Amino acid sequence: MISPSTATSGPDIAFRKVSKVYGNAEGGFVALDKVDLTVSRHEFVAIVGPSGCGKTTLMRMAAGLDFPTSGDVLVRDRQVEGPGPDRAVVFQQFALMPWKTVRDNIGFGLKCRGAAPSEIKQVTDRYITMMRLQGHESAFPHQLSGGMQQRVAIARSYAVDPDVLLMDEPFGALDAQTRLVMQEELVQLSRVNPRTVVFITHSVEEAVFLADRIVVMGRNPGRIVEIIDVKSLRLSERWDELPIEEVMDLESFTHMRTRVWKLLKDTKRSTAA
């Protein structure tokens, strides 16, 4: 469905001097202030930052659900004009259709693309297994726990096999164990099928484990405080060869984690003042 990754090297997503102001011009609230950020093809970027710093707003603009007050949002050098089949979103509030079963929710994107029923069945089966939702295929969302609903929402976006995955705290409602499993699964998945991921999280550990780069944001106005490269460290320290719980014990990992934490603490102090 999605064309195989061609070796273009330009950025997949580019935010250029993006500002977002809510309300009128004078008394407006600046949710984002001249944000510059590029995400390369097949790069995994995690965004961390205090609540209300504009993470969701930034992601919605890449999804084509919100538009900047000024500045440009580009996906593959094209101005974003609306949602597109190349980008899938995992919403902070799951946003499942209550009138569709687990299977139909997961298969909805494929159905929209005109996939054959047999293909939909096959793909949904795969993600139902991956997300450990077996036995709940015919359940409706309100019959599931929050964590299960979240896994349906994730499966739904994986199922369309998008070039760009935009995930807003996708593991927020999961218990610690499931969360670890999902994190490893996501790493696996990106290895088998590389794609560009923008991943919003409140968990610094999660960001350090998953991301190639971590974007630390600050508030009032919403802005990027620092961008940290994790990829080179991960490669040199060979994190990829270890299971997640061992990675999280490595000194290189804990160092990085502490560094991000400090940054977050500093931004909070500076905005509090």
Partner 1 sequence: MTTLSNAANATAPKAARRMRRRLPGIGESLVLSLAGFAILFGGWWLLARSGLVPEQVLPGPDAVLAEILHLMRTPFAGSTLQMHLLSSIGRYLMGLALAVAVGLPLGLLMGWSRRVERAISPVFEALRFIAPIAWLPFATLWFGTGIGGPILIIFSGAFPPCVINAYYGAKLIPTPILEASRTLGASSLRMLTDVLAPGALPSIIAGVRIAAGIGWQSLVGAELIVVSSGVGYLMMQGQTNLSTAVVMAGMAAIGVTGFAIDVLLRLIESRIQKGALA
Judged by the rule CB under 8 A, the positions of this chain that interact with partner 1 are: 63-65, 82-85, 87-89, 91, 93-97, 99-100, 108-109, 111-113, 156, 160
Nearest approach in angstroms of CB 112 to partner 1 is 4
Q: Please count the other Cβ atoms lying within 10 Å of the Cβ belonging to residue 17.
A: 12
The residues, any chain, with a CB within 8 Å of residue 237's CB and separated by 6 or more, are 250, 252, 253
Q: Which does 97 bind (CB under 5 to 8 A by kind): partner 1, Mg ion, ligand ATP, none?
A: partner 1
Distance from C-alpha of 53 to C-alpha of 32, rounded to nearest angstrom: 8
Q: Which does 52 bind (CB under 5 to 8 A by kind): Mg ion, partner 1, ligand ATP, none?
A: ligand ATP
Nearest approach in angstroms of CB 51 to ligand ATP is 3
**Is the Cβ of residue 56 or residue 149 nearer to Mg ion in the bound state?**
56
Which string of x and - marks every residue 10-29 that binds ligand ATP (by CB under 6 A)?
A: ------------x------x
**Is the Cβ of residue 92 or residue 124 nearer to Mg ion in the bound state?**
92
Q: Which does 218 bind (CB under 5 to 8 A by kind): Mg ion, ligand ATP, partner 1, none?
A: none
Nearest approach in angstroms of CB 185 to partner 1 is 21
Q: Please count the other Cβ atoms lying within 10 Å of the Cβ belonging to residue 191.
A: 9
**DSSP H or E run through 236:** helix 231-236
Nearest approach in angstroms of CB 256 to Mg ion is 24
The residues, any chain, with a CB within 8 Å of residue 94's CB and separated by 6 or more, are 141, 149, 150, 152, 153, 173
Q: Note if the bond before 4 is cis, omega within 30 degrees.
A: no
**Is the Cβ of residue 46 or residue 160 nearer to partner 1 in the bound state?**
160
| Burial status of residue 232 (CB atoms within 10 A of its CB: 0-12, 13-18, 19 or more) | exposed
Which string of x and - marks every residue 45-74 that binds ligand ATP (by CB under 6 A)?
A: ----x-xxxxxxx-----------------
Which string of x and - marks every residue 197-236 that binds ligand ATP (by CB under 6 A)?
A: -------------------------x--------------
Distance from C-alpha of 64 to C-alpha of 75, rounded to nearest angstrom: 10
**Is the Cβ of residue 10 or residue 23 nearer to ligand ATP in the bound state?**
23
Beta bridge partners of 87: 164
Cα angle: 148, vertex 62, 95; to 5 degrees: 25
**Is the Cβ of residue 106 or residue 166 nearer to ligand ATP in the bound state?**
166
Encoding tokens for residue 179? 């969360």
Can you state the percent helix, strand and coil of the chain, rounding each to 5?
A: 40, 25, 35
Closest CA to 214 of 231, 235, 191: 231
Nearest approach in angstroms of CB 109 to partner 1 is 4
Largest CA distance in the chain: 59
Residues lying near Mg ion in the complex (CB under 5 A): 56
**Is the Cβ of residue 15 or residue 91 nearer to partner 1 in the bound state?**
91
Binding site for ligand ATP (CB under 6 A): 22, 29, 31, 49, 51-57, 92, 222
